[in-house]
Structure 1
Amino acid sequence: MKSNPHFSHHELQEYVHSVFGHDYHAAEQTRIQGGAQKVIYKVNFTNGFSCLLYIWDISSNYFQDELLKESTFQNSYGSSLFSMNTVFLRNHGIMTPALYDMRNGRNGFEFDFALVEYIEGHSAESYFQHHDTPDKHALFQEIGNMVSRMHAIEREHYGKANDYKIKELTCFKLKQDDAINALFYASKHIAMIKENHDHLLHKLAQLESRIQPRARHHFIHDELGPNHIIIDHKMQPYLIDIEGAGFFDLEHEHSFLKLRFGEYYRYFKKENLDSARLSFYRLCHHLSLASGGLKLLHRHFPDRQFARNLAAYHAGQAIEMLSHNRD
């Protein structure tokens, strides 16, 4: 993985001058740790302004092998998706940081890049630790309302906002294929997954067989954890890491929300969700996260303990689903 800055100070200065004008002088660029697919730098200016520099560099992506081999994985990576979803969400009143400039024609570089609004604030996850107060309740209600407004955007076919093609496979069949690949990878490295490989494969097929096709799909974030919502100083929530957003089964998002928000899922809870889809996608998430944690670990992700814990926890949860019906 690339460790040196993608831009020299001179290159960065030329870029920001072309976007903001010659009154803006970059003082420093600091890499923000944690991203697995794109690189993010915070850029501070001498006039007190700050913004983010996003870099889509395949050589810095911890899942580059999947991007090159698995077509469905490409649906959650890339500058074009980021640009399109930023416009789509903001046009529908869903707050996400403003896109100041996008360069995805390479422009002499081997990666795409953009300047994005810096939201001064904290992730929704940090508010889990706050005492229960009316302000905290109001915040999570607003987060729930924002997500509900996004989910209310619907159409007949699944896919990206600009993709209206009718697909041969249903969206849940695509996720079943991804889950089978994740199971195969995890079974090579986790003993209890290897021992239960056939049982998990059967469980996945059993849960998928209970799903009835449908003709309505909703706009979802696709990986909406509390770390993907930033709260500014006015307590306004913003969605981030939006490349994977698109039209899909609503239950895919809700099963993930339930995993990631725990007791705070009550702010998202929705009636009339399909229990068969919830169970199926839950198992898909566990297998994907177990495999994903392993891949981060094997590919030298900086927070190795996080990667190790992620793989172990979701492997255990997948095994638990063999003996319990969990929606």
Structure 2
Amino acid sequence: MALFCHLKLDDLQEYMGKVFGIDYVVANVSKMHGGAQKVVYKIDCTNRFSCILYVWDLTMNFFQEEIANEAITDRSYGSDLFEMNNRYLREHGIQTPALYDLNKERSRYNFDYALVEYVNGHKAEVYFHHSDTTVQDRLFERVGHMLTGMHANERHSYGKPNQVGNHSGSCHLLQLENAKVQLSYASNHIESIKKNECRLLEKLHELESRIKPRSRYGFIHGELGPDHILVTDQLEPYLIDIEGAEFFDIEHEHSFLELRFGEFYRYLKNDNLDHNRMLFYRFHHHIALTSGGLKLLHRGFPDQLFAKGLADYHYRRTLQFIEG
């Protein structure tokens, strides 16, 4: 058995017993790779049942500095957001792993943790390289249908499901301010960004100035790459890492999908998107991913090659907005 886990083995076994019953005896605990914001373990039991243990330990979050400075209404991290969005998605027919139990007592540990359904399958990105185009068609058409249904959940104010009517103004202005912050960070570490910072800010404001007011917002995941969709052997897609889900401009989601899904975005397209919003958010994503890659690089993210590649690719794409 792998011994390392945020919970002591006796505490974990007690927790499993309380949630599932005495027949669920822990046989193995293994840490799963990936997440920059929460720690994920797979729990295997002697009766062949498996589940996931999520741990929201801020000390192991690679963006803890940003989280500490976030306004409470703009958070995209925390067990309470996971619980709320899990409930909202499942109530609206959007598949995401079931939440079995959430422990927020903080009596034995100074972090929240939860037991969540284990979905046996692969991330959607694996299917980019699948040899059978029929399988690809079936899966990504299902993903497109799922997203269309999710985005069709609308309301007149943006924000979290429990923030009805709390926000006035335009949601894209939040990303305008975020882009400025991320651009400043990137300019401190990439000479060509620093050299062109004023021109990049001008382009940012130019793109923002083209956006006309809107008063309807769809429910989006917020960071939906192919690594945030689990796919079962029956080609059923499940959304994961859902803490950032909220009502927002769906162009924010689609511009990110376009970046992350490449040629497979054709299955996810929406012909009713606002072109000016798409362009603005695409620019924002390139800036934010440049900064995000740099932060992962500077803060010891295990996959340093990935972090460097992320920053390098997106800073070049950022500069393309002011070239030619």
TM-score category (smaller protein) = over 0.9
CA contact (8 A) 2:157 2:168 kept: no
SS in 1 for 2:109: coil
Partner of 1:285: 285
User: Unaligned 5+ residue runs, structure 2?
Assistant: none
Encode CA deviations 1:288-315: one digit per residue, 9 max, x unaligned. 1000000001100000000000001000
Structure 1 contact 96–239 (Cα < 8 Å) conserved:
yes
| Partner in structure 2 of residue 201 of structure 1 | 201
Corresponding residue SS for 1:290 = helix
Superposed, which structure 2 residues align to 1:27-42 within 5 Å?
27-42=27-42
The answer on whether the counterparts of 2:170 and 2:213 sit within 8 Å (CA) in structure 1 is yes
CA–CA separation in structure 1 for the residues paired with 2:285 and 2:133: 32
Pairing 1:147–2:147 present: yes
Q: Does the 8 Å contact 1:66/1:73 carry over to 2?
A: no
Counterpart of 2:284, as a letter, is C
Deviation track 1:72-102 (CA, whole Å, cap 9, x = no partner) reads 7952101011011111001111000010001
Shift of 1:192: 1.2
**Counterpart in the other structure of 1:308:** 308
Partner of 1:67: 67
Query: SS state of the match for residue 206, structure 2?
Result: helix
What is the SS of the residue equivalent to 2:160? coil
The 3-state SS of whatever aligns with 1:41 is strand
CA distance in 1 between partners of 2:225 and 2:215 (Å):
27
Letter in 2 for 1:51: C
SS at match of 1:113: strand
Conserved? CA contact 1:186–1:291, under 8 Å: yes
The answer to whether the 8 A contact 2:85-2:161 is kept is yes
Counterpart of 1:164 in structure 2 is 164
Separation of aligned partners in 2, 1:240 and 1:176: 27
1:126-137 aligned at under 5 Å gives the runs: 126-137=126-137
Q: Is the aligned partner of 1:192 residue 2:197?
A: no
Equivalent pair of 2:121/2:233 in contact (CA under 8 Å):
yes
Structure 1 CA distance, aligned partners of 2:73 and 2:103? Answer: 22
Aligned mates of 1:80, 1:41 — CA distance in 2: 19
Once the two structures are TM-superposed, the CA of residue 323 in structure 1 deviates from its matched residue by 2.8
Contact preservation (8 Å) 2:29, 2:43: yes
Share of identical aligned residues, percent?
53
Q: Larger deviation: 102-111 or 119-128?
A: 102-111
Within-5 A mapping of 1:71-82:
71=71, 74-82=74-82
| 1:204 partner letter | L
Partners of 1:74 and 1:19 in 2: CA distance: 32
Task: Give the conservation status (yes or no) of the 8 Å contact 1:67–1:73.
Answer: no
The answer on 1:236 being equivalent to 2:236 is yes
Structure 1 gap ranges (5+): none
Aligned partners of 2:150 and 2:220 also within 8 Å: yes
C-alpha distance in 1 between matches for 2:126 and 2:312: 23
Matched residue SS, 1:52 = strand
The runs of at least 4 aligned residues of structure 1 exceeding 6 Å deviation read: none
Count of aligned positions: 322
In structure 1, what is the Cα distance between the partners aligned to 2:49 and 2:269?
39
Cα distance in structure 1, aligned partners of 2:133 and 2:251: 30
- Compute the TM-score of the two structures, normalised by the length of structure 2: 0.97
Report the Cα offset of residue 170 of structure 1. Answer: 1.8
SS in 1 for 2:75: helix
CA shift, 1:63, in A, is 0.3
1:135-184 residue CA offsets vs partner (Å, 9 max, x unmatched): 22111101110111001100000000111133244211111111100000
Q: Which residue of 2 aligns with 1:123?
A: 123
Corresponding residue number in structure 2 for 1:224? 224
**Which residue is equivalent to 1:87?**
87
Q: Is the 8 A contact 1:25 1:47 kept in 2?
A: yes
Q: Whole-Å Cα distance in 2 between the matches of residues 146 and 7 of structure 1?
A: 35
2:185 maps to a residue whose letter is Y
* Cα deviation, residue 131, structure 1: 2.2
Partner of 1:246: 246
Using the TM superposition, give the Cα deviation of residue 53 of structure 1 relative to its aligned residue in structure 2, in angstroms. Answer: 0.1
Deviates most, 128-137 or 107-116: 128-137
Asked if 1:24 corresponds to 2:24, the answer is: yes
User: Match of 1:76, SS?
Assistant: coil
With over 3 angstroms needed to count, the CA separation of the structure-2 counterparts of 1:246 and 1:216, relative to structure 1, is same
